[in-house]
Structure 1
Amino acid sequence: MTRIGNRDARLAEAVALRTAGEPEQARQLLVALSTEFPADAEVAYQTAWVHDVLGLEVEAVPFYERALAGAGLSSDDRRGALLGYGSTLRGLGRYPEAVEAFRRGLAEFPEDNALRTFCAMALYNVGEHHEATRNLLLLLAMTTSDPDIQRYRRAIEHYAKDLDAVE
C-alpha cells in the first residue's frame, strides 16, 4: 500500500471511529496522522473535530488553524472547519477572534445560516448587540415558515435595518 493509500485508509478508519462513538481511539489515530502529514488540511480538520468532540477545545485550535491555512479541504469541510474554529474560539472566550473567524466564513459562504447564527452569538459577546440582533431578525424573517412571523416579514426586515429608528 502506498503512503497516500495508507493515509486514506487510516483517515477513513479514524472518521469511522469518531462517528461510531469512539472519539478517543479516533483522536489517537488522528494525532499520529497529523504528525506524519503535518501539512494535510483534511487530516488537520478531522483532528480538530475529534478534539472538539472530546471537549479538548484548546488542543483543537492549532489543528483548525492548520486545516484552514492549507489547501485540500472540500467546500463542505472548509465550511465546517470555519464554523468549528469560530465556535471553538467563542467557547474559549476568545470572542474577537471568533467574530473574525465567522466573518471570514461568511465572506466565503455568505448564504450559510449556521455561520450567521454563530456569528451573531459572537457579536453579542463582543458587545455588538445591534448587529447581532439585526442579523438574527433578518435570519428569522428569511428562514421561518411560521405564519405569524411571515405576516410581518417586511416590517421585521425594515426595522432590523435600524432598531433605534422612530417613525
Structure 2
Amino acid sequence: MGRLRILAGGAAMILLLLTTASCNWFLSFPEQGTRAPISHNPVLKIGERYTDLCTMNVPDHLHRESISHAVFHHRPFLIFFGAPVHCTPCVHEDRLIKGLMDIYHSRMAFVHIDDYEDSEQATVHDWRVHGEPWVALINREGTIANVIPGDASYDSLNVMIKKLVR
C-alpha cells in the first residue's frame, strides 16, 4: 500500500510538472489586450505559386496581405498560424477561415502563416508560436482582441469578427 502511494504521488508530481510546463508553453503567444507584433510576413508575389507559401492542397487566398500593411492602414485582421500538410485541425481551420474571408474580406484582412517549410521565419518568432493551429484577431488600433489556441468554431469566430468590424 505504501509503495502504491509513492508511485501515485510520483505520477501526480510528473503530471503537475507537465501541466505547468505546457501552460507556460501555451502562454508564450502574445496575450489578448497587448499590441500585435508588426511583422513582415511572406505574401504572395506576382508570378509565385501559392504552394511557395502554403501547404494547403487548394489555394486559400490568405497570403495576399502583410500584417504590417494591415496595422499601418488601421485595418482589423485575423492571423492564422497552421501547417495543413501535417496538422489535420489546420485543414479544417483553413477552410473555415477561408469561408469567413469570403464574407468579410472588404472589411478586414486575413493572413495565414504556414510554418511547415520554414519554422524559423521571423513572423513565427515575432508571435512566439509553439504548436498549431493558432488564431488571433487584431483590432484597428493593432491590439490583440482575441486569441484562440487550437481548433476554433465557425460560429465563435463569426461572432468575434462581427464585433471587430463594427
Range of TM-score over shorter length: under 0.3
Normalised to the residue count of structure 1, the TM-score between the two structures is: 0.25
Larger RCO: Structure 1 or Structure 2 (Cα < 8 Å, ≥ 6 residues apart)? 2
TM-score by length of structure 2 reads 0.25
- Say which structure is richer in helix: 1
- Bigger strand fraction: 2
